[in-house]
C-alpha cells in the first residue's frame, strides 16, 4: 500500500504537481510572513523533532517553522533518550506519539527509517534526512531558491558537483528537478559520482568544466574531509583544481546562480570570494528552508 500524502518521506514519491503545490504554498507563506500577517494555523499542535543524527541548521529551521505557525516543539535529546538503552526506533517513535506529538520529523542514519515509521504510525512523518537516500525538505528549498532566481525551472539546466554518491541532497534534487522541467547535470570524481545516477533521468559528466558552460545554476556539495587522502580522493588541491568553483570559473558565467546546502568548506569546493559573491544564494536557501518546512507542516497536518 502506498503511504498517504500527509507524509513526506522523499521527493521520489511525489509528482511534479505535488512538489509545485508545496513550493507555491511556501512562497505564499513567505509573502504572508514578510507582510506581517498572522500565522497561527497550527496553534495547539505538537511536533516532535526526532533527530538521531547531529544537525544544527535543519533542526533550527524545522523548529522556527513550527513556531511561526503557532505549533509547539517536543524536544527530543538523542543522547539521553532510551535509544541509547537499546530501545527500537519504532518504540521510541511510538513513545513520542503517545506523549502527544501530532507529527514526527525524523533524521536517521539508516536509509528508509522514515518510510518504515510512516507505514506504522498514525501521525504524519517528515523525513529530515535518511542516510544517503533523501533530504526532501532540502530538495524543496533548493527548488524554491532556484525558481526564485531563475523565474522558472522549466527548460533550465542545473549542475550538481561533488560527492554525489554519499549525498542525500543530490539525490533529492535528482528526484525533484527533472519533474519540474529542469535538466540536471552531475559532475564529480569517478569514486564519488557513479554513472548509475543516470537512472534518475539526469546526465553524468566528469568535471566541473564539463557542466558549467551549459548550466544556469550550480549546486556545490560539501566534501567531507574524512574522504580525502583515502581510497576515494587523493588531495584537496586536486579536488579544488577539477571540481572547485573559484572566481576564474565564475567570471566566465556572470549570470550563474550558485547554491550550496551548507556547511561550506570554503577553499575546497567553493572559493571564499565565490561564497560571498552576489551570485551566491546560500543564505537565501536557508531562509527559504523555513518557509518550505512551514508548507510541509501544513500539508502534513491537513491545514487548508
Task: CB nearer to another protein: give 27 or 89.
Answer: 89
Choose the stretch contacting another protein; rule: CB under 8 A; options: 52-60, 141-149, 192-200, 258-266: 192-200
**Which residues, including other chains, have CB under 8 Å from residue 17's CB and lie 6 or more apart?**
none
Is residue 84 part of the contact set for another protein (CB under 8 A)? Answer: no
Q: Which of 3, 39, 78, 149 binds another protein (CB under 8 A)?
A: 3
Question: Quick check: 113 binds another protein (CB under 8 A)?
Answer: yes
Q: How far is CA 53 from CA 58, 109, 201, 229, in A?
A: 11, 7, 30, 25
**In sequence order, what are the residues at sequence separation of 6 or more whose Cβ sits closer than 8 angstroms to the Cβ of residue 136?**
8, 9, 10, 11, 14, 127, 172
* Smallest distance, another protein to C-beta of residue 131, A: 7
| Cα distances (angstroms) measured from residue 207 to each of 63, 112, 220 | 38, 31, 12
Query: Minimal distance in Å, beta carbon 38 to another protein?
Result: 38
Task: For residue 24, give the C-alpha cell.
Answer: 507555491
Residue 11 phi, psi dihedral angles, 5° rounding? -85, -15
- Site membership for another protein, residue 232 (CB under 8 A): no
156 binds another protein (CB under 8 A): no
In the complex, the smallest distance separating the C-beta of residue 249 from another protein, rounded to whole angstroms, is: 28
**178 part of the interface to another protein, by CB under 8 A:** no
Q: Which helix (H) or strand (E) holds 146?
A: helix 136-150
Q: Which residues bind another protein (CB under 8 A)?
A: 3, 10, 12, 88-90, 110-113, 115-116, 118-119, 130-134, 168, 171, 194, 196-200
Amino acid at each position: 500500500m502506498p503511504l498517504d500524502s500527509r507524509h513526506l518521506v522523499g521527493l521520489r514519491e511525489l509528482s511534479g504537481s505535488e512538489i509545485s503545490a508545496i513550493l507555491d504554498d511556501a512562497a505564499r507563506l513567505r509573502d504572508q510572513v514578510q507582510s506581517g500577517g498572522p500565522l497561527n494555523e497550527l496553534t495547539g499542535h505538537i511536533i516532535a523533532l526526532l533527530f538521531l543524527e547531529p544537525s544544527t541548521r535543519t533542526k533550527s529551521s524545522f523548529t522556527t517553522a513550527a513556531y511561526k505557525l503557532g505549533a509547539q516543539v517536543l524536544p527530543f535529546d538523542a543522547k539521553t533518550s532510551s535509544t541509547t538503552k537499546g530501545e527500537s526506533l519504532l518504540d521510541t517513535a511510538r513513545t513520542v506519539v503517545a506523549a502527544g506529538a501530532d507529527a514526527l520529523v525524523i533524521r536517521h542514519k539508516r536509509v528508509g527509517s522514515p518510510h518504515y515509521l510512516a507505514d506504522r504510525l498514525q501521525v504524519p512523518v517528515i523525513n529530515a534526512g535518511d542516510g544517503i537516500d533523501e533530504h526532501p525538505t532540502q530538495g524543496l528549498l533548493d527548488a524554491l531558491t532556484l525558481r526564485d532566481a531563475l523565474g522558472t525551472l522549466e527548460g533550465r539546466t542545473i549542475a550538481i558537483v561533488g560527492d554525489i554518491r554519499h549525498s542525500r541532497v543530490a539525490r533529492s534534487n535528482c528526484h525533484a528537478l527533472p519533474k519540474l522541467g529542469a535538466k540536471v547535470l552531475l559532475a564529480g570524481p569517478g569514486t564519488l559520482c557513479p554513472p548509475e545516477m543516470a537512472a534518475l533521468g539526469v546526465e553524468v559528466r566528469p568535471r566541473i568544466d564539463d557542466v558549467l558552460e551549459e548550466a544556469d545554476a550550480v549546486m556545490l556539495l560539501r566534501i567531507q574531509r574524512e574522504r580525502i587522502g583515502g581510497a576515494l580522493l587523493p588531495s584537496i588541491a586536486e579536488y579544488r583544481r577539477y571540481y572547485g568553483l573559484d572566481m576564474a570559473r565564475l567570471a566566465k558565467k556572470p549570470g550563474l546562480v550558485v547554491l550550496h546546502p551548507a556547511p561550506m568548506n570554503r577553499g575546497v569546493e567553493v572559493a571564499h570570494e565565490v561564497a560571498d559573491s552576489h551570485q551566491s544564494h546560500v543564505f537565501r536557501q536557508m531562509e527559504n528552508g523555513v518557509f518550505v518546512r512551514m508548507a510541509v507542516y501544513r500539508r502534513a497536518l491537513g491545514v487548508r
